[in-house]
Structure 1
Amino acid sequence: MKLKIYLQEAYDELVHKVTWPTWKELQSSALVVMIASFIISLMIFVMDMSFKNIMEFVYGLFY
């Protein structure tokens, strides 16, 4: 019985009390996330390549 009440309250909350974004807002937010993800991945790539080159130089000093 408590489960039925909980599910009904959860349904009512999702349908009547939540403000869902519009399609335009959703597209805008997705674009921001994609651009930020690309920039962060590019930064990690540059840092990784820099570290690789530095380590190759350091290891090259000893061979």
Structure 2
Amino acid sequence: MSLAQANKNLKFDSRMIERNVSVGEMSKEELKKHLDSLPDLAHNVETFTIDGKNSSNEEEAH
């Protein structure tokens, strides 16, 4: 894979977004359009505490 192809694959990588916008490889409007197109996956989260216990009903896991 060429460097150009690797950069293209990382265009929307969260570590590269600020750089891509600042050097003009991506506009803020293009970024907003991309972010708006992403699905809402909030229902997939699992809340936990530092001690490792699930903050939801503990008895469901047993």
TM-score (norm 2): 0.27
Considering only CA atoms, is the larger Rg found in Structure 1 or Structure 2? 1
TM-score (norm 1): 0.27
